[in-house]
Amino acid sequence: MSALFQPIALKSLTLENRIVVSPMCQYSAIKGMATDWHLIHLGSLAQSGAGMLCIEATAVAPEGRITPGCLGLWDDSTESALADVFNAVRRHSAMPTIIQLAHAGRKASVAEPWDGSAQIRIEDGGWQTVAPSPLPLRPQNHMPQALSLADLTQIRHQFGESAARAGWIGLDGIEIHMAHGYLLHQFLSPLSNQRTDAYGGSLENRMRFPLEVFDAIRSNFPADRPVGVRISATDWIENGWDVEQSIALAAALKARGCDWIDASSGGLAPEQKIAFGPGYQVPFAERIKAETGITTIAVGAITEAAQAENIVASGQADMVAIARGFLYNPHWTWAAAAELKATVRAPRQYWHSAPQHAKNLFGDITAGVPGAQSYR
């Protein structure tokens, strides 16, 4: 039996397989509000057969958006728009759906990728960025404002409020974005955090604010629903954040009730030198899992079913998360199940689409009771 298609429990959730649709920014919101594009995008992915779907990085405040088009969850309007999309998707798919909550920090106020991703000046419609320390991402960027203790209290509250709104909408879980050079990662790395107060300097101090944010989210989200964290396991820069510090963070998060670590890497600064290749980030998930015992998700350049199967079967990670692969083929899970001789859920309208070589892909539909059954 395929290890990739075995169930896994995350608090009250039971995922039917170990495949996660990664959060993927769409830059298609209007003033933080979800649009018809999100309905089309998430509706498609919710029929993919994956075990869990994660909604894109969602800002907890307007100034926490990466771009003007980024999704938000900070007031009644953004909550209502996202609820409309989620409820429409949920009517046709019971796939466990979570949301990634984020704040971009000094990487905020930039143009959408198709418009070049350059930082937008305040006089041109951008906004003042914030960071642990007044250090711009690039010399040409405007100076971020160093966060005061009062600012930290406000941002903790914003994360907690967004978590509460996610619970009210009915989302099944939360992933906290502590990766890719965004605000919480900026606190973790000594390269971006040069504070001299209780939130900077030692590893314990640099972890303090991200851990406080985790606690704020955990206490404002239903206790039976899981909360995980995506981290950058390394900055890929000398003297920066690294896997040993990531292990310490994972252990501290586990002690607070964190349900998984999604082990990505990089994104803090342009000086990074990434050793890219198939499954290049899997060893980070493997080490974190081995040394802390926390549930892990491997991500990054995982493209083939056999590759994903080996990661889970060998114990390198408990789950795999795939992003671009699902954009190219929204039914990536179907193809993987066919290759690995597994069954997968699918909408009943599609039951007769399985090719001859995988005629039992959706179970025994001729009996009217398919093995994996429809998400309906």
Q: Kindly list the domain boundaries of the chain, sorted by start residue.
A: 8-342, 349-376
What is the per-residue pLDDT for 368?
A: 47
Beta strands 52-59 and 319-322: pairing type?
unpaired
**Report field, pTM of the whole predicted structure over 0.85:** yes
Dihedral angle computed from the Cα positions of residues 250, 251, 252 and 258, in that order, rounded to the nearest 10 degrees: 60
Residue among 39, 41, 71, 78 at smallest CA distance from 56: 71
Query: Which residues does residue 229 pair with via DSSP β-bridges, in sequence order?
Result: 176, 261
Residue 30: strand, helix, or coil: strand
Residue 2: strand, helix, or coil: coil
Q: How many CB atoms lie within 10 A of CB 138?
A: 10
Dihedral angle computed from the Cα positions of residues 347, 348, 350 and 353, in that order, rounded to the nearest 10 degrees: 130
What is the per-residue pLDDT for 364?
A: 66
CA 56 distance to own-chain centroid:
7
Give the residue numbers marked as catalytic. 182
**Amino acid at residue number 291:** E
Locus of tokens 């919710």: 46
* Burial state string for 16-38 with b = 16 or more CB within 10 A and e = fewer than 16: bbbbbbbbbbbbbbeebbbbeeb
Residues 21, 302: Cα–Cα separation, whole Å: 12
Distances (CA, A) of 100 to 25, 54, 58, 129, 208: 10, 7, 6, 20, 20
Determine the CATH number of domain 8-342: 3.20.20.70
Cβ-based neighbours of 320, under 8 Å, separated by 6 or more: 4, 18, 19, 20, 297, 298, 299, 302, 308, 311, 312
Query: Which residues does residue 108 pair with via DSSP β-bridges, in sequence order?
Result: none
**Amino acid at residue number 284:** F
10-residue averages of pLDDT along the chain (376 residues): 97 97 98 98 97 98 98 98 98 97 98 96 95 96 96 98 98 98 98 98 98 98 98 98 98 98 98 94 98 98 97 98 96 96 93 88 62 42
125: left (phi over 0), alpha (psi -120 to 50) or beta: left
What is the per-residue pLDDT for 146?
A: 98
